[in-house]
Structure 1
């Protein structure tokens, strides 16, 4: 027979019939699994209420850049160089504000959503009683603001009014108390909580209720994960809010409250901006008013000193000729004045964290972005200061960023001021050249034009600021929210959770799949084989036969006239061994196994007995000299054994043979005393001499050797054996042991190895293969 190892070509073929048969043999597991999973699914449908989706939509209105709130853009547009600056917040920014932790936390606090009330009637009947709770729990606001863990209060009230309250954190009980009436207090490591009754509480009725209490911040984090706030269309300014909840009113209240708080903060922000703008405009009006008065006084004084009556008529011709030139000069001087105002505003320490109320008509894009970025940082600080302290790390970092940005802005303004001044000086130089060309104009008229120009600039600034003051006052009086409510919170009619029928079907299919997964996982993790088919999947070693489990109390089960299943199986092995042993010269069969307990001695003894039943002369040699068990197993006592002969304590091998020890024609040689040098004895020449003599006297020589997985002694006996029976045991021998045998055969360390499976459920009938049951 070919002992080459490898994977059987048919091992990977999927046997659907066998698989179905295996599942049908365990139909009860499928039935139990389906019933249990379906019952769990049914209980889930009874316990879990349906989940509804609540939606709301708001439209973000952009700031009007020509209104009082857009002062800087309006001012620059008036002077024809402000089209590069924009105003108003982007919708994405408003999206982040609306979904911010601060806004959600404030809504949680106002609605009291950090408390959840569950009314229990029985195990299957639990109800979330939002706004309809007969009991409430109160505590100090600082506790709710700083609490980082969730606390469950289990409240039980009996008919006699006896109250029991237990507070738990996870599976740990942290406090408990009893009282006779409400309100009652319970002291926990996190603070004192008071249980009170609401108008819905009914005296004299038993009550079982759970109240979950958590901190505002922790609840806000949970709600933030449940909320879905997004822009429905990038081309529109519409923000959609949605949440899923078992309690529709709670979801509606939360969405509506978020919108309300968002709009309130927007109004407060606009009012603060308008108030600061009004303060700045008043200061500028007072300053410009004085400068305008001085300019008008100068005009009046000049006319009186120079006896001028109608200087306007006299200068009309000149103004018409160089109107365009003067307009440019006025515009340049106006720009320079505005830049000067901004510079002075930045240098004033009182305006350290105040927004620049207007900017210049910057032609440089970097300068424009610097001013806008500075105002945005100040607005961010203003929002942060509403919820944080001056010493907060976030505020300190932001202050440092603002200080650095202010320096950059100041440098930008100075550079821009220098640039405008250069242009202004150039215009004045051109003006001097122009005035030199009109030599005939009296000096008085030219001096008056210069004085008049200063008056016109002051007057234009004064009128502009008065206009902005009125517009800002109007904006302050009529403040509209940023978010226009398109849809107040509403719920979808159908629940978004799975229907009861779907859940029951899922439970049924899970129950159907679980046993399959169980069998697969069991097969995947199991390191032992149980049947002949499983063994054939991991080895190509020939299998002589199977030995079923023996229920006999006797060790020798093969006897004359015995027709039991186990006797027939041994006879089958005896027949199959004839195909392995070629000729009369091959008569030594080595019996071994991987480890102790696989039935090696049982197989070798009964196999030798079955050969003796044929009238053949058989000798069974116990060569497990490290752990000699054959004599004890066969209940044989002998003065001498194999080790006595090998150590030359006995010279004639006939002295160690026990004739007809088990039955007629079956002799036995037991191992003898345990020697100090077993490996050396098995490698000695006396082993070869002994087996040479035994070959002359016996038809079959069966060797009961040591397990090869424990010691290497058996490999030294390969030189004297003609074939090897390797005993493995179902549900005992590991797959790794079989792989080790495959490796041994690949290395040709044993001769003609065949397997015998011990401890199976095989039943042998007439002939090989009939009547077997490997299930």
Structure 2
């Protein structure tokens, strides 16, 4: 029968405990109860870890360090060429990391080192990996059959230094014998085995050769290869790390990966350099044609416009124009003088005229004629002063004057005509000079533009010539930008790695049973702890009864049982708690014992609580109202033929007749349920039960009423109005959580008086560990 230790409370909690309240002690106590299960699973997992340690091979960490140097532009020309697309862009460290981890590069390493073929030999029932010189043979695939899956296994037995036996699944050609280095055709394709220096050590042994899909092997190595910067801020050095069960294979992989990377780097740089050279040569050819065309344009322009040196030619034009202007001024002055002479000659009366100057006249004949003419006019004027004009004496002088005038006019006309022609020519020359001077800025600008085109072509041509020489030199001595700092080396195995399987086994040994227990509790959906009740029910827990299996239903009868003392103390504590629940009542205390379903231990607690009350000197009676499953007669060894409640309620017996005295326990009486009657519930609703309880209150200190389960039959609701308090029994790992809302509803609607909970069937492990997990003190 179930029972549990009391843990009392003197007052009801005002509200439900918060859902996020966490009781670690209760969880630990719960799982400590199953310590044999945890021990069993831990032992099993540790045995598995030890077996795994014997079978598994250690994984080594192989590491190498590579310095990825960024290329720097040597000068401004280099930068300009890169911006123009002539030279390749600078490579970044991040790009180099991606190249090192690229599938193409790893695939080349796998194929060159033939890492898709692995060799194994069985030694002492354990498989041992072989690599390179450790393997007695080398698998050489001559031709792969494309129609067969790539992954194959070849099993051979080495017979001697020249022959081996091939294990096949063909019954007609079982275990054929072949010689080394001879081609063999199978479903895999055509292949052969080449012996190594270690062949003689493996004579008589079986070698398993696994031929894997190269693509799958590439995937594995690409996942395991780690390339990371040592210091992302200050250094461009990268660590190349790989994990492998064969250290030498890992070292070969990383070293060959670096070799291929450097080789590809050099090839890529040479390709770019060759491309740059080709481009420069093509550009030089085109620039040579363009430069010749620009020089020819400058030459033709100079020749067409008669330009040698624009500055000197401009000065020459200005000087010539000034000289022409001076000559033109002289001619204009001479013309003016000639015009004055002509006007002087043509004047009718020259006596009052001023004689024009003849200083600028270069013709001395004209000067003499003008002077002679002037003198003649003066002579005539003198004669007029003394002689009349009509006097024949004037005739000679007049003829001289007329002759001189005629000579002067002829001479003036000739000189004037010559000066006008000269003036016209000077004007034409001056106009030509002015036109030439005005056109010089435009011609100079056009010539400058042609020279600029010529200079740019010439400058670019010179740059490309210089770049071609630099590129040719770099093409002859190209080196990789990566520098090897540390070749691949094997890191020592960490001692903690050997403990990892055992640590994992320990964790699994604890997690698996814990998960099973948690899953079981979740599936069962039963009340598993006091915390569940406190969280879902607002009423207080008056006592906790441990689970124990005794020979008798009454715990005091099994005086020699180990758990007897604990259970007796629990019921004594519940008895004490009952005093507080009834508060000031000193006599006739009616306690209703209720539960949701059968099997929760309600009758067990009722009978033992009655014994505990009786042994304390309190006159106690147990009233059994569970007519459907009566147990009190069996518990106290009473005759079942004695009248009970059914006889009293049907007026067949008096109240004194239905009371049975317990011979074993002084002060304890029992009223059994009696024989079954179908209308028992209707009889409980009559006045006769009230009369009985009123009489019992007068003669007994405690009346304990054992009723039917509430979710099955509602008898407890009928008699609850006549009771003082209710002890509602909830059994651990038996009462469903779905019944807690039903109990909560009973409490909220006050269908049962002063309800409190008795938690039955709690694990006894709490007492075993009470020094480590002290309980709350009972009252």
Which of 481, 484, 494 matches 1:483?
Answer: 481
Q: Is the 8 A contact 1:641 1:670 kept in 2?
A: yes
With structure 1 as the length reference, what TM-score do the two structures score?
A: 0.58
2:12 aligned residue: 4
2:329 equivalent in structure 1: none
1:605-657 CA distance string (max 9 Å, x none): 465577788999865443235656667877965598756876xxx23453996
User: In structure 1, what is the equivalent of residue 65 of structure 2?
Assistant: 56
For 1:96, the equivalent position in structure 2 comes to: 98
How far residue 129 of structure 1 moved from its aligned partner, in angstroms, is 2.6
Q: Tell me which residue corresponds to 1:498.
A: 494
The superposition leaves residues 146-179 of structure 1 with CA deviations (integer Å, 9 ceiling, x where unpaired) of: 98xx95848475979765579xxxxxxxxxx974
Residue by residue, what CA displacement relative to the aligned partner does 1:551-575 show, whole Å, maximum 9, x if unpaired?
Answer: 25xx67877xx85558876698479
2:600 to 598, 601, 613: 598
Q: What does residue 370 of structure 2 align with?
A: none
Alpha-carbon distance in 1 for matches of 2:589, 2:638: 26
Q: How many angstroms apart in 2 are the aligned matches of 1:296 and 1:763? A: 110
Query: 1:572 and 1:510, CA in 2 relative to 1: closer, same or farther beyond 3 A?
Result: closer
The answer to whether the 8 A contact 1:549-1:760 is kept is no
Q: 1:180 to 1:711 in 2, by over 3 A?
A: farther
**Which residue number in structure 1 is paired with residue 110 of structure 2?**
108
Q: Distance in 1 between matches of 2:570 and 2:486?
A: 87
Cα separation, 2, equivalents of 1:54 and 1:232: 16
How has the CA–CA distance of structure 1 residues 592 and 233 changed in structure 2, closer, same or farther, with 3 Å as cutoff? Answer: closer
CA distance in structure 2 between the aligned counterparts of 1:208 and 1:256, rounded to whole angstroms: 28
1:206 is aligned to: 205
User: How far did 1:2 drift?
Assistant: 3.1
Residue 254 of structure 2 corresponds to residue 255 of structure 1: yes
Counterpart contact for 1:47–1:125, Cα < 8 Å: no
Question: Whose relative contact order is higher, 1 or 2, with alpha carbons under 8 Å and at least 6 apart?
Answer: 2
What is the rounded CA distance, in whole Å, between the counterparts of 1:667 and 1:32 in structure 2? 50
- The answer on whether the counterparts of 2:571 and 2:612 sit within 8 Å (CA) in structure 1 is no
CA separation of 1:284 and 1:57: change in aligned 2, threshold 3 A: closer
Residues 739 and 214 of structure 1, relative CA distance in 2, 3 Å threshold: farther
Deviation sequence 1:213-263 (CA, Å, 0-9, x none)? 244366246435432243646555555534344434333333333333333
Cα distance per residue 1:641-680 (max 9 Å; x no partner) = 756876xxx23453996564975884543265474895x6
Q: Are 2:550 and 1:550 aligned?
A: yes
- 1:420-447 per-position Cα deviation (integer Å, ceiling 9, x unaligned): xxxxxxxxxxxxxxx9895697999999
* Structure with max Cα Rg: 2
Q: How many residues align?
A: 609
CA contact (8 A) 1:620 1:702 kept: yes
Quick one: distance in 1 between partners of 2:134 and 2:528?
Answer: 63
Note the residue ranges of structure 2 that are not aligned, 5 or more in a row: 1-8, 317-433, 768-774
Residues 377-406 of structure 1 deviation map (CA, whole Å, 9 limit, x = unaligned)? xxxxxxxxxxxxxxxxxxxxxxxxxxxxxx
1:700-715 alignment, distance < 5 Å: 701-708=703-710, 713-715=715-717
Rounded Cα–Cα distance in structure 2 between residues aligned with 1:705 and 1:223:
74
TM-score, normalised to structure 2, is 0.57
Q: Which residue of 2 aligns with 1:669?
A: 672
Residues 153 and 447 of structure 1: CA distance in aligned 2, closer, same or farther (over 3 Å)? closer
Q: Secondary structure at the match of 1:718?
A: helix
Aligned-partner Cα distance in 2 for 1:302–1:589:
132
Aligned to 2:722: 720
Provide the rounded CA distance (Å) in 2 between the counterparts of 1:743 and 1:754: 14
Give the structure 1 partner of residue 129 of structure 2.
Answer: 127
Change (3 A) 1:693 1:140: farther
1:283-331 deviation per Cα after TM superposition (whole angstroms, max 9, x unaligned) = 444444445555666788889999x9xx86x66857999xxxxxxxxxx
1:714 deviates by: 2.7
Aligned pairs (5 A) from 1:274-293: 274-291=273-290
1:95-494 equivalent positions in 2, closer than 5 A: 95-122=97-124, 126-127=128-129, 129=131, 132-134=134-136, 153=153, 155=155, 157=157, 179-181=175-177, 196=193, 198-199=195-196, 200-201=198-199, 204-207=203-206, 209=208, 211=210, 213-216=212-215, 219-220=218-219, 222-230=221-229, 232=231, 234=233, 238-291=237-290, 317=312, 438=437, 465-466=464-465, 468-476=467-475, 478=476, 480-487=478-485, 489-491=487-489, 494=491
Tell me, yes or no, if the aligned pair for 1:5 and 1:746 is still in contact at 8 Å.
no
State the 1:498 CA deviation: 1.3
Q: Is 536-545 or 44-53 further displaced after alignment?
A: 536-545
Q: How far apart are the structure 1 equivalents of 2:263 and 2:72?
A: 16
Question: Would the aligned equivalents of 1:616 and 1:699 in 2 still touch at CA under 8 Å?
Answer: yes
* Structure 1: runs of 5 or more not aligned: 77-81, 167-176, 322-434, 765-771
Distance 1:12 1:292 in 2: 91
- Higher alpha-carbon deviation: 31-40 or 125-134: 31-40
Distance verdict in 2 for CA 1:146–1:290, change over 3 Å: farther
Q: Give me the whole-angstrom Cα distance separating, in 1, the residues matched to 2:78 and 2:766.
A: 98
Name the CA shift for 1:689/1:209 in 2 (closer, same or farther; >3 Å): farther
